[in-house]
Amino acid sequence: MLIVSQNKKKIINLNTIQYINIFQNQLWAGNIPNNQLGDFDTVLGTYETEERAKEVLQEIIGEYKQWNKDANNAVTIIPKVYEMPKE
């Protein structure tokens, strides 16, 4: 799933990041440092309260968990783009 940052300047592939966390009412995405890429942290969005940031995180989880069954009852993952809400 792709996530479009709140400021619409970044697209983050959820499958290539290792975590999303909340720090000072902001949602951050990043990777644990490794020998090839080094540190990577980016702000996905900033919210007025930590509670709102938690709600947005739950929305991302909800979108990621969606799936579809085809005519043969095979489960397929639906490609998705989640756009971070402004507020």
Q: How many CB atoms lie within 10 A of CB 86?
A: 10
Residue with tokens 């999303």: 20
Q: How far is CA 28 from the centre of its chain?
A: 9
pLDDT, position 35: 45
Q: Over 50: is that where the pLDDT of 78 sits?
A: yes
Joined tokens for residue 10: 């970044």
pLDDT, position 32: 67
pLDDT, position 68: 61
Query: What mean pLDDT is predicted for residues 38-56?
Result: 87
